[in-house]
Amino acid sequence: MQMSVLKWGLLVVGILLLLAGIVFALQGATGIGGGSSMDNNPFWIYAGAVIAVIGAALAVVGIRIRSPKPTS
């Protein structure tokens, strides 16, 4: 049970971070959303890329965690 919660938790958090990182990078690169201090700011391109990579890594770890085999 605990391993399943960990697996799904890592997967969900990883996907959310991946999506947030992509949005941050796009906003820093193109200024989508308009009127934010993040618009056309190179810092957010790099920060978004780092956040997206961390999110992807967490999602992959969540996918690769194996549930323990039931003992008989």
How many CA atoms are closer than 13 Å to the CA of 52, on its beta-carbon side? 14
Integer Cα distance of 53 and 39 in angstroms: 21
The answer, as to whether pTM is greater than 0.95, is no
Tens of pLDDT, residues 27-59: 888 877 667 788 888 899 999 999 999 999 999
Question: Above 60 in pLDDT, residue 1?
Answer: no
Q: Cβ distance 47 to 24 under 8 Å? A: yes
